[in-house]
Structure 1
């Protein structure tokens, strides 16, 4: 789990929520797309601001991994990405080219590094700070995505993808990506129903250890990956308090005792190698007594499935959920 994103969300939504989060064989190749047609483009971003480009952007810098994944999946390799090493650790659905430049951290990207690349466009998420947008817009057009919206994260993902696609002239590719994603949802829902698993509960989490304390971040009803599970016909068993943007909540091992169903599968991500569930809780009596642990319904996701990504990362989550309930 990226500690940069954790710090950002802690500042934004208080101690309740902590923020957003290796290598799987299901790595997708970038989309092969025809060159975008030229001519002026006007995009209205999440701020309600019209951003005008002389031509569809081809040299793009992405300051968040979800947007970087979307660019690659649409057929435009970004020239710069914030924290390329972290991206390689957490995102495998759309691989960056070796020559993509690192422009600093996601929490504090380098304006100088971005401007030096002479991009046509910078794509960033809402919540990164008006000051950064102001600095960048002195030199380059900027579009701001929503990044997350717990009231409708699947709809938000579609809107962000379509907005980026419009700015880079790849709307046909966006339509294809979303059609493939919808087909994967429909196929997965059918398989789960045929396996008699419709309505069964799931929980998704990640966590970290500081000293002897294990903190657990739960993905509530509005989290992107939770909404994927719900669309597959499953039921998110976590009903604790979550924030309104990411749909995330914080608990500890005692807080998991409410997950009582013997049918529940518990999924988690530990792409950075810090597996607090297998290691930090190995000898914890409460943890070992939980039904999903005793039943063997504990699933560490393959490394590199980004929890806050686009349609390609979403399809990786679909595969994992379908395998657990209908495999």
Structure 2
């Protein structure tokens, strides 16, 4: 992302106040905001341990990550801006975005001037996107930084992120309902799985470069792994993943670690690039893995974001339970 000088950003902010390019009055609540958001002030401690104090719960919010965009939309708050709306529509169908939401650039390199021009009263983003953009944005707007993932405690982390965001936008009741709905689905899934309780699973996505297929495994501590454990399944992939996301990279040769285990294999290919059905077609190693020969390979329905909020988690549970019951 280009670096912007203080004077350049100040100019953007001044233009935004005078002629912000939106038909809403400055400070007007975004679509989907309710009277509950008129209360205030509110203070929350974000993922950095920093206290963020707002004069009232935020109504004009920009989100720079899909999981947080989903959470906001699920709470009934339509962001005024979000990062990579097109990609969000492909990968996350749990909480569709209103067409009015402005695209502010990619998740990796959002446009600072686009964010500032929307006159938000809060920006929500994940910690891993880095300090430079946080420092730039905080000159003009409060920034709420979430953890986004923690492979040591991902379900608890998700609860904390939902509660933190819900408090910041004055939607505590809605936040509690999102979490209680997830808890209820976890409990019902255990019952639905029945004899499948205790069964092993593995989950991956992948990509192909030339003739090389790279596979990203969801290991212990990944959000979907914690969900599976919560509903009574066991992750058959035991290799260590990274400490934040619980993810690890391998290739088709590495998949031999799963051979001989009684498991069901799940994968995600929402973008239409199916490296497991197409990229590994005719591959002798893949074709001879026991779970492949047994027909225990399940492509998830498109649009289930495996790093999302409670609604995405419920979608994932629904798909996994359906596969075991089929």
- TM-score, normalised with respect to structure 2: 0.89
**1:45-194 matched pairs, under 5 angstroms:** 45-192=46-193, 194=194
- What residue is the counterpart of 2:268 in the other structure? 269
Which 5+ residue runs of structure 2 have no aligned equivalent? 1-30
1:322 equivalent to 2:286? Answer no
| Equivalent pair of 1:262/1:295 in contact (CA under 8 Å) | no
Distance in 1 of aligned mates of 2:272 and 2:39: 44
| Equivalent pair of 1:288/1:294 in contact (CA under 8 Å) | yes
Number of residue pairs matched by the alignment: 296
When the two chains are superposed, the root-mean-square deviation of aligned CA atoms in Å is 1.4
Distance in 2 of aligned mates of 1:33 and 1:294: 53
Q: Determine which structure has more spread, i.e. the larger CA radius of gyration.
A: 2
Q: How far does residue 36 in structure 1 lie from its aligned partner after superposition?
A: 2.3
Q: How far does residue 326 in structure 1 lie from its aligned partner after superposition?
A: 2.7
Distance in 2 of aligned mates of 1:46 and 1:36: 22
1:295 equivalent to 2:280? Answer no
Q: SS state of the match for residue 198, structure 2? A: coil
* CA distance 1:318–1:139, shift in 2 (3 Å): same
| Equivalent pair of 1:201/1:261 in contact (CA under 8 Å) | no
Q: How far does residue 262 in structure 1 lie from its aligned partner after superposition?
A: 5.5
Q: How far does residue 260 in structure 1 lie from its aligned partner after superposition?
A: 2.6
List, as ranges, runs of 4+ consecutive aligned residues in structure 1 with deviation greater than 2 Å: 30-37, 260-263
Relative contact order, higher structure (CA 8 A, sep 6+): 1
Q: Which moved more, 1:179-188 or 1:32-41?
A: 32-41
Distance in 2 of aligned mates of 1:34 and 1:204: 42
Distance in 2 of aligned mates of 1:123 and 1:61: 6
**1:217-296 matched pairs, under 5 angstroms:** 217-261=216-260, 263-296=262-295
Which 5+ residue runs of structure 1 have no aligned equivalent? 1-29
